[in-house]
Every structure is written in C-alpha cells, then in structure tokens.
Structure 1
Amino acid sequence: MNEALERHDLKILGTSSSVGGVFKDVKVTGECTFGGDVDCVKLAQTGEVAVEGNLRAQDIKITGECKVKGRVDAASLRGQGELTAGGGLRIEDIKLTGGIIVTGDCEAEQVQLTGIMEVSGLLNAEKLDLTLFGPCRADTVGGGNISIKRSRSGALLRPGKKMSFAARLIEGDQIELQHTQAQTVRGGSVVIGPSCEIETVEYRELLEVHKSSIVRNTVKM
C-alpha cells in the first residue's frame, strides 16, 4: 500500500460514487462505484461495491457483492458474499461463505471457503479447504494441503444442483477430494473420496480410492 500519502476515512451511506484514491478505512453501507484504484487499510462493505481499477487493502470484510475490474491484493478476506476479481487475486488469508470468481490466478496462504470458486488460471494455496455449494472450477490447483468436499447442507438445500469441482491438474502434498473431475492428480498422500472421476493419479506415499469413484490410471512415483 502507498504509505507516502496521508490517509482519511471514507464512509458511504446509501447510493454514491467516488473517483477512488488512497484511504484509511472505507466503510460502505449501500451501493458505491469507485471510478479508479482503491488503496486502503480496511474495506468494510454491506451491500454492493464496484471498483473500476485495482483494489489494495490490509483487510477486506464483505457482506454482499464486491466486483473489482482489476487486481485484488490484501492480507485478509472475511465475510459472506461474492468477490469478483478481473485481473487476478492475491490474499494471504481467506475465510468466506459465498463465492470467489477470478480471471487470472488466485494466490493465497490459507483458503477456507464454503460456496463457489471459479479461477480461470492457477489456484495456489498452502492450505485449501473448499466446501462445495455449487459447480466450481480452476485450470490448475497447487498447494500443500488440499481438501475439496461437498457441503452436506448444500445438497439438502439445493437438490438437483450440481456440486462438483473441475480442474485440469491438482498437485499438492496432502490431497483429499470428493465430487471432483480432473485430468491429473499428483501428490504425496492422495485420498480420492466419493463421486470423483480422475484420468491419472500420480502418488508418492499413499493412494486410497472410494468405490464410487473412477480412476483410470495410477502411477506410483
């Protein structure tokens, strides 16, 4: 973040717009469109926020919908709602119920998401804990500990709705998957749970496959 400029708080109540800029704390209750980049210490929103440029913050807390045309960089993301990033995303710690949609790569240290995730490029996290509440996808998933499971409550609340994860490649140290389709899964310890369809699994230490899943090729590295 830009520390050379003096920062002031910005509070928006109702429906408004701003050219963007450098702020301390930004609080939006209602709807606000920022015409350029937003650089702040904290963004707290209840409602809808649109950023025409990039968004940089220490902490982001959303209740509602936040659409960023450019890139999102932050230390933490919390809340309930949907975050869209049109130019990639880098957030160290994510704990969200809702959705994350990224054009480009999504990088994080920890991701704990219950909902929907769509990443057109690489989804990279040291710890990824994804609970599916609908169709999710990424081109490539990489990380240390990767867990992808289906929400039991989601299956009851949304009967007939497809809750699955699709990727070309999933690679990590410890991998546990449910309701996942992938061309290649590569890891140290790999547990393929129910309702998965995997073309090839490459593993170093352990491989377990649920009886309801399909794994066409296995390779011990």
Structure 2
Amino acid sequence: MGSDTNIRSAKSNLNITGSSTAAGGLYDRVKIVGEGIIEGDTQCRHLKCMGTLEMDGELQAGHIGIVGTFSMAGNAQSDTMKNSGTVSISGDADIGVLTGSGTMEVKGHLQGNKIDFKGQVAAGGDCEVEVFKLKGLFDVGGLLNAGEIDIRLFQDSSAKEIGGEKIRIRKASLLHPLSLFFRPSSHAAVTAGIIEGDDIYLEHTKAKVVRGNQVVIGPGCEVDLVEYKVHLEKKKGAIVKESRKV
C-alpha cells in the first residue's frame, strides 16, 4: 500500500496569485495564493495552495500542502499531503503519508501508508493504510483496514467493516476540542458491522460482530456477538449479547 510517485523532471513552475485559470501539465512547483482553477491532468513535485484551488483532471505530486480549500474531479496520487483546511477528491486517492487537520473527503478509495490526522476523514469506498491515527470522526463506506488503528472519537463515526492487527477506539477528552467545528460529544459512538483484529480495545462502539484474540469491550459498547481466541474482558457499562471462545 502507499504512493511511490515517479515524476519526470520539469523546469517550469506554475504560480497563480489572485484569481486565474491555468492549464494542467508537467511542472516542478505549483503555487496558488488566492483562487485558482487548473484544467487538465497535472504532474508536479510540489503543490502548495494558500486559498482555493479547483482541479479538473488527474493529479500526481510529490508533496501537497493545503491551507484553505482544495477540490478535484479526478484521482490523486502523492507521496505526502499536509492538509490544513478542506480537501475533496471525487476519484480515488493514493497518499503515502497524510497529516494535518480539517476535513479530508475522498469519494472513491483512500489508500496509503500512514494517516495521522485531526478532524474528519471520509471515504466512499475502502480506506486501507498501515497506520490510521485519528482525533475526530470518520465515515468509511467500505472497509477501514490498517495494521494499527488508534482513534480518539469526537463525533459519531461509521465504517461497514473495521480490520487491523491492533485496534484502539476511545472517546476523546471533552476538554480538548479540535476547533469550533470538531468538538467532542459525550454521546459520540462508532457504528460498524464487523470489527476484526488481533488485539482489540473498544469504547462507545456499536457492532454486530467483534472477532479477535485479545478483546476488551469497554464502556458504552453494544455488541451482538464477540468471538475471541485467547481472552475477553467486558468492562462496566458494556453490553455483549453473546460471547463465544473459538
């Protein structure tokens, strides 16, 4: 999993200051300060937006830095992305390392190596990475899959399925909001059909089936069935309708 972009060398740069429209192409650096529209497929080593950027086409970049709003109609591939704002990608996204805070929305599949984000992560399809660390909320239409999953829950979140080796879902501290838009809710919960992993700790999670070797069902959880191989612990305030050692 993950991006490994191999972008041909380019000497030209694309700079937009104020409000302007430009054609896609092969660039070394793309910099937007203000409002920019790029029409056509684009390759670059660095893309930096401070303001608003709309793209119509595919994007392949080494590094992407967003301070503001970025929306695109195609697929995106990047070694790294730091998002400090709102990103919306209509296609699939393959991002090696995603960091920052704000909103990251991918209508298709989201994959990469590591997500370490504060705010909202949404994927219409699957989200597959090696490490998924999130303070905030998530909405995954398919499978959320990572070797390590560490979630501090701020607001209601969901995935069709969650899978990983080590899974940690905890409620965030009510004293530390990320922003006016991402404030912890005392009623926040994760909803998933199936959660499967080796080492699982859950709080405030509603699931039909939880499967694992070492499983801890913490406060606020409602699980129909827990299947475990080694150990099961049910904390005070947890509801487990049925448990089975397999």
TM-score by length of 1: 0.96
TM-score by length of 2: 0.86
Q: Tell me the amino acid that sits aligned with residue 212 of structure 1.
A: G
Gaps of 5+ in 2: 11-26
Partner of 2:170: 149
Distance in 2 (CA, whole Å) between partners of 1:99 and 1:68 is: 14
Shift of 1:111: 0.9
Structure 1 contact 194–212 (Cα < 8 Å) conserved:
yes
Structure 2 contact 174–185 (Cα < 8 Å) conserved:
no
Structure 2 contact 58–74 (Cα < 8 Å) conserved:
yes
| CA deviation map 1:142-177 (0-9, x unaligned) | 110000011022698957663110000000000000
Partner of 1:74: 95
RMSD: 1.6
Which aligned runs of 4 or more in structure 1 are off by greater than 2 angstroms?
1-7, 153-162
Structure 1 pair 155–180 and aligned structure 2 pair: CA distance change class (3 A):
farther
Q: Tell me the amino acid that sits aligned with residue 172 of structure 2.
A: S
Q: Tell me the amino acid that sits aligned with residue 193 of structure 2.
A: R
**Alignment partner of 2:190 out of 165, 175, 188:** 165
Distance in 2 (CA, whole Å) between partners of 1:211 and 1:135 is: 21
Gaps of 5+ in 1: none
Structure 1 contact 198–215 (Cα < 8 Å) conserved:
yes
Distance in 2 (CA, whole Å) between partners of 1:164 and 1:8 is: 44
Structure 1 contact 5–22 (Cα < 8 Å) conserved:
no
Find the residue that maps to 2:63 and give its secondary structure: strand
Q: Does 1:10 align with 2:14?
A: no
Partner of 1:34: 55
Partner of 1:126: 147
Q: Name which one, 1 or 2, has greater alpha-carbon Rg.
A: 2
Structure 1 contact 2–22 (Cα < 8 Å) conserved:
no
Partner of 1:83: 104
Structure 1 contact 178–194 (Cα < 8 Å) conserved:
yes
Partner of 2:78: 57
Distance in 2 (CA, whole Å) between partners of 1:168 and 1:88 is: 19
Find the residue that maps to 2:174 and give its secondary structure: helix
Structure 1 pair 79–159 and aligned structure 2 pair: CA distance change class (3 A):
closer
Q: Tell me the amino acid that sits aligned with residue 188 of structure 1.
A: N
Distance in 2 (CA, whole Å) between partners of 1:116 and 1:72 is: 19
Report how many aligned residue pairs link the two structures: 221
